[in-house]
Amino acid sequence: MSEQEPLPHLGRPGVLVVAAVIALDGRILIGQRKRGDWNEFKWEFPGGKVESGEDPRDALKRELREELDIDAEVGDELMRYEYQYPGKPPIHLIFSA
């Protein structure tokens, strides 16, 4: 799926991204992008892009396995958010517990 095709879950063009909100004992897990990365030193929740034909929940499980080496149980969707960086396609972000 190209970045400009309508997303099956949203019905409009953009990049579908999933993120996990992982909380334990009143603390929430976030990471900081490293120097040289796009948006270096910005804070982010673990997650990433949904691949073509992939279910968002499966994508989040895959991303957590790749990034944190954990086999997570994806919980309920918490919220959806849309953002567009100048000159880039919109990002449709799904946060899950």
Q: How many domains does the chain have?
A: 1
CB contact at 8 A, 16 and 49: yes
* Domain presence at residue 1: no
Nearest 5°: phi and psi at 3?
Answer: -70, -15
Quote the DSSP letter at residue 40.
T
pLDDT for res 3: 43
* Domain presence at residue 87: yes
pLDDT for res 1: 38
pLDDT for res 4: 44
Q: 26 is written with which tokens?
A: 């009143």
Q: Which residue has the tokens 């991204």?
A: 17
> Mean pLDDT per segment of 10 residues, for the chain of length 97 residues?
46 87 97 91 96 94 97 95 91 95
* Domain presence at residue 6: no
Strand-pairing partners, residue 42, are: none
| CATH number for 48 | 3.90.79.10
* Domain presence at residue 3: no
* Domain presence at residue 9: no
The whole domain housing 69 covers: 15-96
* Domain presence at residue 8: no
CA distances from 72 to 34, 65, 82 (A): 24, 8, 25
User: Which pTM does this prediction carry?
Assistant: 0.82
